[in-house]
Every structure is written in C-alpha cells, then in structure tokens.
Amino acid sequence: MKEIMRYPGCFVCGDKNEIGLRARFFWDGDKAVCDIAAQELYAGYKDIFHGGILSALLDEIMVKALLAQGIPSVTAEMTVRFRLPVFCGDRLHLEGRSTGHKGTVFFTEGAAVNQKGEVVATATGKYVRPKQGLGDKLLESLT
C-alpha cells in the first residue's frame, strides 16, 4: 500500500500539527484506508469519542480516496450516519472510495468500523475539483 499525500499542518493527517490526530492514510489500489485509536483527548463526553472528530476522519478518508487517484478536491457536501458510539480507546478502521462523478463533482462513500468489526458510522460525500488557481494552491501544500 502507498501512503497518500498530506498537508503537514492538517488537523487530521498533518504530521506537524501538534494538536492534530496525525492519522496516516494509505491507498490499496481500490480504496483509501486508515487505522487509528480514538483518543481521550478528543472526547465529546466522558469516555466517548467526539462525533465531530469522527466526521472529520470520514471526510478525510473520502477526500483521500480522490487525492490518491490524482483528483485534488474540496468538500461540497457530506452526510454522516452515526450507528454506534465510539468509546475512547477503541481502534477504528476507516475506508473511503469514489463512487462516480458528474463533471467536476465527485461522489464518495466512507465507513468507520471498530475493533469488534461493528460499523460505527458511514458517510457519503460530494467533492468538487477546484478551479485552476485554487487547485494549484492545494497541490503545492501537499507532501
């Protein structure tokens, strides 16, 4: 598997962001994947991982699925369905893939599964390829 490019300062994947998740994303040839622990630092309630952080991970796994295919994009719309609580200390496996496109709009889906194999959340997203100037700026920031 090949590691997918990242912006070093990104909250989700940046390795230089001191308060970030520092998640690593890989491309297996078909989908983006990530394994990460739900840290207490990102709790929303006592011992429960924050849903907004889980949403950010799902957004990232879906956009990484596009980026791995050479499609720089930004989030236009995202829907998350929370199925089960994620407890701090849980291990999460995330997967994201592209499901098609229409013009410059790309459709994606993602899922997060806990260490028991239970789907804790799913997401769908619409991402757009930015206009040339912004697209170039995005690509310049990636390592």
Q: What's the CATH number where 111 sits?
A: 3.10.129.10
Distance CA 6, CA 100 (A): 23
Q: Mean pLDDT of all residues in the chain?
A: 95
Note the pTM of the prediction, 2 decimals: 0.94
Distance CA 83, CA 103 (A): 32
Phi, psi of 88 (to 5 degrees): -60, 135
Side chain identity at residue 54, one-letter code: L
Query: Using one digit for the tens of pLDDT, what is the confidence trace for 34-66?
Result: 999 999 999 999 999 999 999 999 999 999 999
Side chain identity at residue 95, one-letter code: E
* Host domain of residue 10: 2-140
Query: Using one digit for the tens of pLDDT, what is the confidence trace for 69-90?
Result: 999 999 999 999 999 999 999 9
Non-local (6+) Cβ contacts of 77 within 8 A are 125, 126
Do 104 and 128 contact (CB within 8 A), yes or no?
yes
Radius of gyration of the chain (CA): 15
Give the model's pLDDT for residue 66. Answer: 97
Phi, psi of 22 (to 5 degrees): 55, 40
Confidence of residue 138 (pLDDT cuts 50, 70, 90): confident
Count of structural domains within the chain: 1
Alpha carbon separation from 3 to 9, 16, 96, 114, 130 (Å, rounded): 17, 16, 14, 22, 23
